[in-house]
Structure 1
Amino acid sequence: MVKINRTYLWLLIIPVILKNSHGAFFKMSKLECRDVNEDLVRVSACRLKAVKRDITEATIHFQLKKPCILAIFSYFKLHVELLRKYNTYQPFFINRTFDACEFLKTRKNAVYLDILFKLIQKYTNANHTCPYEDALIIDRFRPLHNNLILPIPTGDYLIKFGFHNMNTLMVHLYVWFGFKELETWEVGSEAGSPKNPKHNVNA
């Protein structure tokens, strides 16, 4: 029997999902910055703000310190792990370390990271190739429901980001969120979110 690598399988499946998706409801319910290496980074902001009942905004500000600035010119790693809530949060498809500088240079060989990056690129200063100096910022990020398409089923999730300078952890970012695929009739509603969502978006 021929074995198919899971990554290549998702490369085939994701375009089909995206083509037939109608958008989604997405709400961040909790945000935490953990394991901060104070020799390399200072966390100036790491918070969620409720804008409306179904909309939250994320603001994250990592102030880079001098040793980090010097090293980050050549090598910056980002580890991404996605977990889905069943009785507990369990690993779900994504668990990989990316060369962030190489990705930003080529935008290739990182399907999952490319989907995530497209969500935040309008809200961040990390929208250019390396090097980065002074700070990494995401300012008032809020996904637009009708334009949001993710290749995951309805459910509650936790996504973990590990920011590494060379081989040293700088900080972990944890984001809890609820996700619901919208039906065709739900797309284009004024609020941009479904009526009476059946799952709990709170962690």
Structure 2
Amino acid sequence: MYFKGKLLFILILLFGNITDIDSKYEFTNIKCNTKDKNFLEFEYCYIKSVNRSYKYISLKTNIHQLPINDAIGNLQMLRRFRSYMPITMNVTVDVCKYMASKKNTGNPMLRLYEEVSKKYSNYNHKCPYDHDIEIEKLPIQDMNKYFTDILPLPVGDYAFYSSWYIKGIERATVWIYSTIS
């Protein structure tokens, strides 16, 4: 009887470990492009790998024409099949209105945007923006939580494309490439 109970316990542990799926999200590349260098420039834009398990993204813009009262972000998630194909809706956000009301956080893309702005950046306030914009040390662990738990994505290569419009003119793009294994 004791042997059967022990065997059952071991089988439950093994079955639990086999069925537990653990995904891992990793940054692979980041590209920050300026469309109008007279308006803004990127001081830095990089992925830093501290060790095997800790990577982060940092970027900083130098905005030459302040203040900013009208900002729109166009956000989209893509997955690589033969080329990068959209897998989520193309979300356009009026940044000033969104930061003033903080509505529509039911959308996973906007919830991610909210978390990044709250913890790792200096743009978590209402317009006007009268300073440079930066994201400092956005860790891979937080992104892993969003892309494997909240928005469970299958294994593959992904891209997060964002275009930033100020006064109705596209000023910058930030493309983040990643993989889920």
Deviations 1:26-83 (A, max 9, x none): 21110011243112102101111111224321110011112xx24x22x110011111
User: Mapping of 1:58-137 within 5 angstroms?
Assistant: 58-66=57-65, 69-70=66-67, 72-73=68-69, 75-109=70-104, 111=107, 112-137=109-134
1:173 aligns to 2:174 (yes or no): yes
Q: Which amino acid counterpart does residue 82 of structure 1 have in structure 2?
A: M
Is the alpha carbon distance of 1:63 and 1:91 closer, same or farther for their aligned partners in structure 2, counting shifts above 3 Å?
A: same
C-alpha distance in structure 1 between counterparts of 2:162 and 2:169, whole Å? 14
**Structure 1 stretches of at least 4 aligned residues deviating more than 6 Å after TM superposition:** none
Compared CA separation, residues 55 and 86, structure 1 to 2 (3 A): farther
**Residue 160 of structure 2 aligns to which amino acid in structure 1?**
I
Equivalents in 2 of 1:147, 1:161: separation in Å? 19
What's the secondary structure of 2:104's corresponding residue?
A: coil
State the TM-score, normalizing by the size of structure 2.
Answer: 0.77
| Residue 41 in structure 1 maps to residue 40 in structure 2 | yes
- More moved, 131-140 vs 51-60: 51-60
Give the residue type in structure 2 aligned to 1:149: Y
Distance 1:128 1:113 in 2: 15
- Unaligned residue ranges in structure 2 (runs of 5+): 1-20
- Runs of 5+ consecutive residues of structure 1 not aligned to the other structure: 1-21, 180-198
- Report which of the two structures shows the higher radius of gyration computed on alpha carbons: 2
Structure 2 letter corresponding to 1:116: Y
| Separation (CA, whole Å) in 2 of partners of 1:129 and 1:24 | 36
Q: Aligned Cα RMSD in Å?
A: 2.2
Percent identity of paired positions between Structure 1 and Structure 2: 19
1:5 corresponds to: none
